[in-house]
Each structure stands twice: as structure tokens, then as C-alpha cells.
Amino acid sequence: MSSLRKTLACAIFASITLAACGGGGGGGSSGGATPTGTVNVQMTDAPSCGFDHVFVTVNEVRINASSSAGDSDSGWTSITLATPQKVDLLSLTNGTMATLGQATLPAGQYQQVRLVLAPNQGNTPSNSVVVSGTTNEQALATPSATQSGLKIIRPFEVAANSTVDLVLDFNACKSVVQQGNGSYALKPVITATPMTVAGTIDGFVAVAEAGATVYAEQNGKVVSGTVADSTGHFVFSTLVQSSTNGNYDIVIAQPNETTGIVTSVPVVVGATTHVSTAGQPIVLPASTMNAVSGTVTASADASLRALQATSTGTYEIASANANLDTGAYTTSLPVAAPMVGTYNGTLPVGLAAAASSAGQYTIEADAASGATQSTAVNITGGSQTNVNFAF
């Protein structure tokens, strides 16, 4: 995949699947025995970013029934890997999985999952990135992940003699933050989806657009993301059913091309909704790209989102993290008006340019404290600098 198709504004997603299966002798009808299930942990789904590789090394997975359980509290079940597993998140796309391990759990509801990463030691870091166009691994600082683990709070049920999958979307690109000295740190952004309430959306872009980043969004926020493979195919296999959370908007972002948006796509448990086919893929015209750059108060530890409004809604087109030490950020955006169409069950979905949106964006800065600021920019006439935020 060429570095032209990898931008720091994209979001990459690794997913971790926990499958709980009914144990042999622990069924609900046995006299007094506690029903149990088996938890199988896997990682999958990561679109590309401004890196050729993003490595994390998993030592252990910990699970607890309490959302407030601390490191030394009771109730933890651990999956300790016999050998720490170093996984390249960028090799896991469109459902490819890396299996981590298994554990048995009593049936019941669980609230908290933690991923414990191996510490960086010696000359070969356990957690690292390789910036596009380079060959050297640069260490990825993960202080909390190697101690207590990356914390994910999401209730999920392990029923007796049944199977449940919990998919954890590790948004690795939004989680990788550059520091002033050129090094990188991990600021984890992870969400979870029980597969018992999930379905699939898939589609195709033109083969020439292979490598495009594709987002599934709700209310202008990225829920999940993937990357179109060499045939143009993209898949979201872990989206919560529409009857629970509402329909999804599919946003296709590719450097030097117009953004594509398919709105109001429904998700049904256990089924696949197709937004396009190999025979009738989504084809997007070329677009000039201009940049937006500036600084954010460094202590804000902020992330930036580039939003674009059309008559059908507002959509996140790109994102970036501000440098932890300097607060500097930059993101590259298409000038051309996005191509937008509404899903109605009939293919192909007709896309038309939202002319009034050409070059018009809102840049939103979100501080770690929860404070948010935003400002409108127009990149039609060229790149915009000094788009600054002070918290």
C-alpha cells in the first residue's frame, strides 16, 4: 500500500473478539454446578495510517464483572499468553484476526476488560511504529498499558451454554500521538461491541481506489473503520443493530480524491447490508487537497476533527492528534464537494455533489478534559494556517 494512501488524518482500527462458549459439564441443569463459558480473545480490523506498521505486544487480557474494579481488587480473570504476542495492527484488515488466548468464566454479566502490553526493553521495542517511507521501528511509549492495562468499560453478558463475541475497536491512529522530540506515545481510544447485537455493512470502491479508508459514522462521529482491499472491497462486521443505535453513514476518504458519503445505512443482526457491489462499485472523482494547520494549547492534550456539513448531516472527514509537547497539528482535506447519496435498498446508490459544501469545513478541537472548541475554515482558495485553539 503506497504511502500516498496513508495519512495521519485517518483512523485505524484493531478489534479484539472475545467469544464465550458454554462449558461441557457446567450447564444450568447440573446439580449446583456454576455454569461457565469460554472466552477466546482475538484481534482484527485496522485500516492504514501515516505509518507502515503499528506494533503492540500483548502480555495479558484481564476481565472483571465490576466496572470500578481496581488493579488489585478481587474478581479478575486473566488470560496470560504463554509467549507475548507482537501484532502489527496494520496487517489486520477486513476481518483478518490474530488469536491471543482463552479463559473460562462463570456465566453472568461482565463490565471491564483490560489489555496489558509488554514493556519496551532493550534494542527491539515491544510496542512501536514505523513511519511511512522509513524502515526503523520507533518505540511507542505505553506507561499505563504495561502496568494496569488499557481499560475498556462495556457491559456484556456471558450466558450459560451459549456463545457471545465482544469486539474491541482499538482506534490505533487516533491513539498514536507524536511528541515534540519526534517520539510517539500511546493515548488509547478503544470501544466495544457485543456481537449478539451486531450486523455487517460491506461494499466496493473502484479497484483504482483500493487502500481508501472507510468509516462507519453516527451523528458525525466515527464508530468503526476499515480499509478497502486490493479488489476495492471493504467490510464492517461489528456494528450494533440499527434498532438499538440507529442507521449508519458510510464515509470514504482517500488522498487526492473526492469524499464519498452513503447515508442512512441500516444494520440487522446476523445479516449483511451491501452499499455497493464489485460490478457496480463506488467511483469517486479526483480532488485537489489543501491542508489545515495550527496549534492547540499543548497542555490540553487535544485531538482534532475535520467536519463537513451537507443537507443530509455533518460528517467526520479526517482527524489528527495535536503534538503532545508543541500542540502543533496538520491535516489534509479534499477541496471538491463531497459526493452524497442516501441508501434506500436499491443499488447502485446514486451519488451527487453537495456543491455548497465544497472546501467548507469545521475544525473541532477536543481537549482531554472534555472541553471543545471549533472554527469554520474555507480551503477553496488554498491551505489554511494558524487555525489555532487556546484552552
Q: What's the pTM value of the predicted model, to 2 decimals? A: 0.83
- Tens-place pLDDT, residues 170-184: 777 778 888 888 899
Q: How far apart are CA 101 and CA 95, in angstroms?
A: 18
Percent of the chain exceeding pLDDT 70 equals: 86
**pLDDT confidence of residue 171:** 74
**pLDDT confidence of residue 190:** 77
- Residue 72 contacts by C-beta under 8 Å, 6 or more apart in sequence? none
Is the predicted pLDDT of residue 340 greater than 60, yes or no?
A: yes
Burial code of 75-98, b = ≥16 C-beta within 10 A, e = fewer?
Answer: ebeebebeeebbbbbbebbbeeeb
CB atoms within 10 A of CB 2: 9
CB 98 within 8 A of CB 92: yes
Q: What are phi and psi of 48, to 5 degrees?
A: -80, 170
- Tens-place pLDDT, residues 271-329: 999 999 999 999 999 999 999 999 999 999 999 999 999 999 999 999 999 999 999 99
Is the predicted pLDDT of residue 243 greater than 50, yes or no?
A: yes
Q: Which CATH number fits domain 198-391: 2.60.40.1120, 3.40.50.720, 3.30.930.10, 2.40.160.60?
A: 2.60.40.1120
Indicate the DSSP class of residue 188.
-
Highest mean pLDDT among 41-50, 88-97, 339-348: 339-348
Is the predicted pLDDT of residue 40 greater than 50, yes or no?
A: yes
Burial code of 261-275, b = ≥16 C-beta within 10 A, e = fewer?
Answer: bbbbbbbeeeeebeb
